[in-house]
Chain A
Amino acid sequence: EYGGAKLKILSHYTSRMEPSLILNEKVLSSSLLVVGAGGIGCELLKNLVLTGFINLHIIDLDTIDVSNLNRQFLFKKKHVGESKAQVARSSALSLNPSANIVAYHDNVLNSSFGLSFISKFSVVMNALDNLTARRHVNRICLSANVPLIESGTSGYLGQVQVFVKGKSDCFECTPVPVPKTHPICTIRSNPSKPIHCIVWAKMLFGRLFGNSDDELDPEKDTEEATNSNEKPEEPVTEPSQDIENLLERDRQVLELEKAKSKARYLFHKFYHYDVLYLSSLTRLFKGRELPKPITLDQILSQKLMESRESDGGIDEYTRVWSIDECASRFLNLIEKLQSRVDDSGPISWDKDDEDAVDFVTAASNLRAHVFHIPLQSHFTVKAEAGNIIPAIATTNAVVAGLMVMECLKVLNSRFSDCKNTYLCGRPNTKRLFLPGPLQPSNPNCYVCGSNRVNLRINTNVKLSFFVEEILEKQMNFITPTLIANNTIVFESGPDACISPEQLDKSLRDLQLCDNAIVQVLDGDTDFTVEITLSHWEEFAENQSFEIVGSVQKPQTPATKKRTLESEEDKVPQLKKRKLDQTVNAVSYTHLTLPTIYSV
């Protein structure tokens, strides 16, 4: 049944004593789960089928876009719009029609992919592009005791990691850098960089054409927004009478514009009226030029738009539009997008929706012009607004190849041969790969370690804050159930009935004070954490809570000092090791190499 070549490769993964037929058996009988059918997923599915695996399941919530076609090769032009998981399955089947491939056009966070589902697989292989799903799958694999092979790529960089309960760390043992967010007052009142204008324009898009939170609403009276972000120690600046007069007159202009068209009204509101108010808040613009309000007719009359025939090529995306072109497009797009909403309902912003990107480009450039910030091209705005990960076929192909090699070792229980491998962008020695041994668990990891943490928080915060910011955002619970004092304080899911009054109560009101212990469970994952609360009032800037590892004895000053010293001693030694030397020693690679999570 097997070609001679395949037996040769598989025999590499067995000891000389062990016939490679045993691994062949495992390959034939194992059931594998591939999470994600994108860049890595397509390459991985192809590799698995060509290696001889016949029981494969693949999950992906997405549909195919033309921008996928440069690397997600199981998809062709004719498949644009179809389900990735389903098309990946049918293309892969043409490589081996007798394989059993099950495709799920669904979200892996869905409760149907919980503990009982994952337990059926010999190995789970992640080909994801976001942290939330990675962390979630990590937890279920730990509960189910199923080995997890993780991966990520971006441009020329990438990595493969192997996580086996009891033999290695888990995905969450290594802290992940938190993506930087911009302060809301900068977005709303005093942008200084193109990205601030782009984020603002995206919020505006959501407000005008999508389903969005009130919280993110740039249309909300700018006055109210600015005041709510003032530092308590600074005096409230009342707009001077001059400005109040100007604003009063401008409100009349707004009414006139409203009568002409919605688009003209919106232009005047955001780029004239609101700016008039902001420009009076001189304390926000110390050392900078004040924002300058613009009027639509004045901008359009500049006629900077080039009348040359466009060649219809890429320049349309890479050139920077003139300000009057931005204004003109702003008006047209508001009408176009509104009729799309009238036809088929609210629009969710998508980086591959050209109208959506055009709108954000026009709107953010108008704002940038007002605040004396350089204008950006469609091409640049798309990447910034869409968090685009640059991607090529080859990096994904390499990573997927490495994943299958690791999978074979895991199936053969050769855990000491398993490697975490990092791709170098530019090899400075002769290496392209930097492989290292699996890492030991982090004793402070609340996911695979003691499942207990100490949380420093002001117990006057509302239950809703606790659930949304800490349980869901910080600790990645998807459907948390919160139990304390033998009662269910909070639960999620379609059958849950938690009243708004309950959510509005403070932790203290719910008898969750200093030293209270709460248990949090996550849906069908079997993942539980016991949280001991410590009432705390002083935090670092931008923080309102702190998670302090597993519950530990408090350190005496002497112990603390010793720990610090020994850690500092370790690091310089590790850094001195040259790359050519043996990598079987304590691994340093994960400390110094970029790891891609694509978030």
Chain B
Amino acid sequence: TGQLQSSDPISLEQNLTKDEAQRYDRQLRVWGVKAQKRLRQAKVLLVGLTSTMAEIAKNLVLAGINHISLVDDVICNPSDVKQHLFLKPQHVGKNRAASCIEDLQELNSLVSIQHLTVPISSLDTSIIGSFDILCSSGVDRSM
């Protein structure tokens, strides 16, 4: 629909749940509970679901950020399939970003994941402004 959906904001006051404590145990011992709470508030926009971006998406979702939106103009083609973490033969002919959603969500059900169905050219400050970070890959900078 093109409407930006985001999950409810989680305040920094709210404790990590037992589920989170168990899943994130090993990384809490690297960067601490406070950092994990900040990650849990983060919203990231990924533009251009190339192979590299697939890796980035994987790492962000595993880390437990709050929300990730994916947008792409590109349609999946057969040569993408054998070297892309999420694209499979059944995705050929479909939007690259849409094709990544299911596998990405399976990596961590605690993260809110959304396909932003707008063309890249329509990304304006009102959309981008609601994110903390934007990553792009394989996209013409002028856009």
By a beta-carbon cutoff of 8 Å, the part of chain A in contact with chain B is 3-6, 46, 50-52, 66-67, 69-71, 73, 76-77, 94-96, 155-156, 311-318, 382-383, 388-394, 397
Contact of B30 among A5, A77, A156, A311 (CB under 8 A): A156
In the bound complex, how far is the Cα of B82 from the Cα of A524, in angstroms? 38
Contact of A50 among B33, B59, B64, B85 (CB under 8 A): B85
In the bound complex, how far is the Cα of B59 from the Cα of A6, in angstroms? 23
Task: Say yes or no: A3 contacts B63, CB within 8 Å.
Answer: no
Q: Is B5 an interface residue (CB 8 A)?
A: no
Given A70-B62, A73-B62, A388-B26: A96 touches B85 (CB 8 Å cut-off): no
Task: Say yes or no: A393 contacts B59, CB within 8 Å.
Answer: yes
Given A5-B83, A50-B83, A70-B62: A391 touches B27 (CB 8 Å cut-off): yes
Given A77-B109, A393-B59, A397-B55: A155 touches B20 (CB 8 Å cut-off): no
- 18 A-B pairs besides A66-B23, A70-B62, A391-B26 with CB distance below 8 A are A3-B80, A3-B82, A5-B79, A50-B82, A50-B84, A66-B22, A70-B24, A70-B25, A71-B26, A95-B85, A313-B15, A313-B20, A314-B16, A314-B33, A316-B18, A388-B25, A388-B29, A390-B30
Identify the closest chain A residue to B61 (Cβ). A73
List A contacts of B79 (CB < 8 A). Answer: 3-5
Given A5-B79, A313-B17, A397-B55: A390 touches B27 (CB 8 Å cut-off): yes
Q: Which of A313, A316, A318 has the most CB of B within 10 A?
A: A313
Q: Is B134 an interface residue (CB 8 A)?
A: no
Task: Say yes or no: B26 contacts A390, CB within 8 Å.
Answer: yes
Q: Is B21 an interface residue (CB 8 A)?
A: yes
List A contacts of B22 (CB < 8 A). Answer: 66-67
List B contacts of A77 (CB < 8 A). Answer: 109
Q: List 16 A-B contacts (CB under 8 A).
A: A5-B79, A69-B108, A70-B63, A76-B107, A77-B109, A96-B82, A312-B17, A313-B16, A313-B20, A314-B15, A314-B20, A316-B21, A318-B33, A388-B29, A392-B31, A392-B63
In the bound complex, how far is the Cα of B83 from the Cα of A76, in angstroms? 21
Total of A-B residue pairs, C-beta within 8 Å: 95
Give the distance to chain B from A40, nearest Cβ to Cβ, in Å: 13
Q: Which of A51, A317, A388 has the most CB of B within 10 A?
A: A317
In the bound complex, how far is the Cα of B83 from the Cα of A69, in angstroms? 23
In the bound complex, how far is the Cα of B85 from the Cα of A316, in angstroms? 37
Contact of A70 among B16, B26, B33, B83 (CB under 8 A): B26
Q: Is B91 an interface residue (CB 8 A)?
A: no
List B contacts of A392 (CB < 8 A). Answer: 26-27, 30-31, 63
Interface size class of B (residues with CB under 8 A): 20 to 34
Give the contacts of B1-59 with A (CB-CB under 8 A).
15-18, 20-27, 29-31, 33, 51, 55, 58-59
Q: Is B124 an interface residue (CB 8 A)?
A: no
Give the contacts of B84-137 with A (CB-CB under 8 A).
84-85, 88, 106-109
Task: Say yes or no: A314 contacts B21, CB within 8 Å.
Answer: yes
Give the distance to chain B from A210, nearest Cβ to Cβ, in Å: 23
Give the distance to chain A from B127, nearest Cβ to Cβ, in Å: 27
Give the distance to chain A from B54, nearest Cβ to Cβ, in Å: 10
Task: Say yes or no: B62 contacts A71, CB within 8 Å.
Answer: yes
In the bound complex, how far is the Cα of B120 from the Cα of A68, in angstroms? 36
In the bound complex, how far is the Cα of B15 from the Cα of A318, in angstroms? 11
Contact of A393 among B15, B51, B58 (CB under 8 A): B58
List B contacts of A46 (CB < 8 A). Answer: 85
Identify the closest chain A residue to B78 (Cβ). A3
Q: Which of B26, B51, B106 has the most CB of A within 10 A?
A: B26
In the bound complex, how far is the Cα of B29 from the Cα of A314, in angstroms? 13
Give the distance to chain A from B86, nearest Cβ to Cβ, in Å: 9
Give the distance to chain A from B111, nearest Cβ to Cβ, in Å: 12
List A contacts of B21 (CB < 8 A). Answer: 313-314, 316-317
List A contacts of B58 (CB < 8 A). Answer: 73, 393
List B contacts of A318 (CB < 8 A). Answer: 33
List B contacts of A388 (CB < 8 A). Answer: 25-26, 29
Give the distance to chain A from B69, nearest Cβ to Cβ, in Å: 20
Task: Say yes or no: B62 contacts A393, CB within 8 Å.
Answer: yes
List B contacts of A390 (CB < 8 A). Answer: 26-27, 29-30
Task: Say yes or no: B30 contacts A67, CB within 8 Å.
Answer: no
List A contacts of B106 (CB < 8 A). Answer: 76
List B contacts of A312 (CB < 8 A). Answer: 17-18
In the bound complex, how far is the Cα of B85 from the Cα of A5, in angstroms? 15
Give the distance to chain B from A154, nearest Cβ to Cβ, in Å: 9
Task: Say yes or no: A155 contacts B23, CB within 8 Å.
Answer: no
Identify the closest chain B residue to A97 (Cβ). B89
Task: Say yes or no: B15 contacts A311, CB within 8 Å.
Answer: yes
Give the distance to chain B from A540, nearest Cβ to Cβ, in Å: 35
Task: Say yes or no: B18 contacts A314, CB within 8 Å.
Answer: yes
List A contacts of B26 (CB < 8 A). Answer: 67, 70-71, 388-392
Task: Say yes or no: B17 contacts A397, CB within 8 Å.
Answer: no
Identify the closest chain A residue to B89 (Cβ). A97
List A contacts of B20 (CB < 8 A). Answer: 313-314
List A contacts of B108 (CB < 8 A). Answer: 69
Task: Say yes or no: B83 contacts A3, CB within 8 Å.
Answer: yes
Identify the closest chain B residue to A65 (Cβ). B22
Give the distance to chain A from B87, nearest Cβ to Cβ, in Å: 10
In the bound complex, how far is the Cα of B30 from the Cα of A46, in angstroms? 24
List A contacts of B23 (CB < 8 A). Answer: 66-67, 69-70
Give the distance to chain B from A104, nearest Cβ to Cβ, in Å: 25
Task: Say yes or no: A155 contacts B30, CB within 8 Å.
Answer: yes
Given A314-B20, A393-B63, A397-B55: A6 touches B27 (CB 8 Å cut-off): no
List A contacts of B85 (CB < 8 A). Answer: 46, 50, 95
